[in-house]
Every structure is written in C-alpha cells, then in structure tokens.
Amino acid sequence: MSASSVRLTVNGAPSPLAEVPHDERLLDSLRWRLGLKGTKEGCRTGNCGACTVLVDGASTLSCLTLTHEVEGAAVTTVEGVADDPVGARVRAAFADAGALQCGYCTPGFLVALTGLLREEGRAAPVEELLEELASNLCRCTGYSAIARAVKDARERLP
C-alpha cells in the first residue's frame, strides 16, 4: 500500500520505477533510484534552486515535486541538459566564463537557465533572466561570473 510504479522518461531514456512510495520526491528518485547525482539537494524547501530539473521542458524544483505527480513526463537533469542545443550553449558559456566556485549550485543554474532560454529565447532581456535566476542561490556568492555566463549564453542562442 502507498507505493506503486511510475513511468518516466529521463534524459531521453524510458525509466520505469517500481514500488515508489507515494510521498517520494522526484529529487530522491533521480539521485537514489537512477543514480543521477548531478541534481543536488540544497535546502529541500524550495529556496535554493540546486535541485532544478526540467519536467516536459519546464524548470521544476524536484525537492517539492512528488515523483508520482510527474507520471509519464519527460525529465531532463543536468546529465542530459547538453543533449539539447540550447543546453549545450549554456554549458559552454558557464565553462568559458569559469562561472563556478565550489560547483554545488551549478547544475541548478545550468538547468534553470536552459529552461528559461528555451521558454523565452532572445525575447527576454538579460536583466529579466538575472531576476528570474535570483531564485538560484550560489553560497560562494560567485555571481559576477555567473551573470557574465548568462549574458554570453543568451548571445550564443541560434
């Protein structure tokens, strides 16, 4: 009782999960069932953005999402984000700008920015993208390089 299977597609691969407790978070399913440790647990309260993944293309806090609630969805984690042309540009921009210090927040930033750029394209001004990324926290406070990478990633869009 209160555990059942869930069908997900994760980073393009069908990933059926068995006996998932109803209260299990997507974050835990990805990390502990599928071994995708790129998705980080920061605060587990929706404040830090480290656990951001894409669910059917929409950036989502995986710590505040029940696995069962995304039944049938296509999930993209940081491990799969560069398979997408926008994600590949975002990753290259972060690497070129050296936009990381300890790196813990980086997967969340890469996924969140990829989601935003896929949703809004070049229509979003850099200032708006930065405001939207204010919900991703970098505890090293390495924001200058991150801001440069965001600007650069937007300019690299096809």
Partner 1 sequence: MSAFELIVPATAEEAVAALRAAAGDGVAALAGGTDLLLDLEDGRVTARRVVSLRRLPWRTLDWNGPTLTIGSTLPLRRLELDPEVRAGFPGLYDAVRAVGGPALRHRATVGGNLGRSAPASDLVPVLLTLDAEVELIGAHGSRGVALDRFLVGSRRTTLAAGELIRAVRLPERRPSAYLWQRVRPSNDISQIAVATAYSPTRRTWHVAIGGVAPRPVLVPEAAGALGGGRPTDDAVRRAREAVRRHAPVTADKRGSEEYRRHLAGVLLDRAVATTLARFA
Binding site for partner 1 (CB under 8 A): 1-3, 21-25, 45-49, 52, 55, 58-61, 64-66, 68-69, 112, 115-116, 119, 132-137
Taking the C-alpha atoms of residue 111 and residue 106, their distance in angstroms, rounded to an integer, is 9
Nearest approach, Cβ of residue 44 and partner 1 (Å): 8
* Cβ at position 103, least distance to partner 1 in Å: 19
Q: Which is nearer to partner 1, 31 or 68 (CB)?
A: 68
CA distance 66 to 98: 34
Residue among 10 and 61 whose Cβ is closer to partner 1: 61
Give the H or E element holding residue 148: helix 143-155
The answer to whether residues 82 and 94 touch, using CB atoms and an 8 Å cutoff, is no
In the complex, the smallest distance separating the C-beta of residue 135 from partner 1, rounded to whole angstroms, is 2
Among candidates 142, 48, 131, 43, which has minimal Cα distance to 94? 142
Q: Which is nearer to partner 1, 106 or 136 (CB)?
A: 136
**Cβ proximity of 149 and 99 under 8 Å:** yes
Pick between residue 33 and residue 68 the one whose CB is nearest to partner 1. Answer: 68
